[in-house]
Amino acid sequence: MFTEDFVINFVLFLILAWALRRWIESRVLATLHQRMAEIEQARLKQPVPLMVEEIEGRLYCWHAETKDFVCQGADLQELRDNFKLRYPGQNAHVQDGPEQLLHRLRHELKHLRQNENLNSQ
């Protein structure tokens, strides 16, 4: 009689411990998934840092940190269009490249923004 009660209680305890462990795991996983989604959303809001180079009249952009190829184009507008194809919903920031090229791109960007403002009015 004592052994039967002990075995039954022990089995019930194991089932309860297993259920509690599964519940804790599901809560931890849910929290982890939520945190990962928050981190991904924050990452998407950060502009992609780019390094730009001009080779044989074409502009090439690489990720400034990972050095992965990002996009290419004949001018800034084409670079922007190709960037948006690869990274929809994200922005970029050209932070590295030859100073003369960076100056030229800043000038092109100023004109693009002026044209966009005129077209939106």
Band the pLDDT of 94: cuts 50, 70, 90. confident
Distance CA 107, CA 14 (A): 71
pLDDT average, residue stretch 58-65: 94
Distance CA 15, CA 45 (A): 45
Apex 104 CA angle, 102 and 108, nearest 5: 115
Confidence check: pLDDT of 121 > 70: no
pLDDT at 15: 93
Confidence check: pLDDT of 1 > 80: no
Band the pLDDT of 2: cuts 50, 70, 90. low
pLDDT at 52: 95
Distance CA 116, CA 66 (A): 31
pLDDT tens per residue across span 13-46: 999 999 999 999 999 999 999 999 888 777 777 8
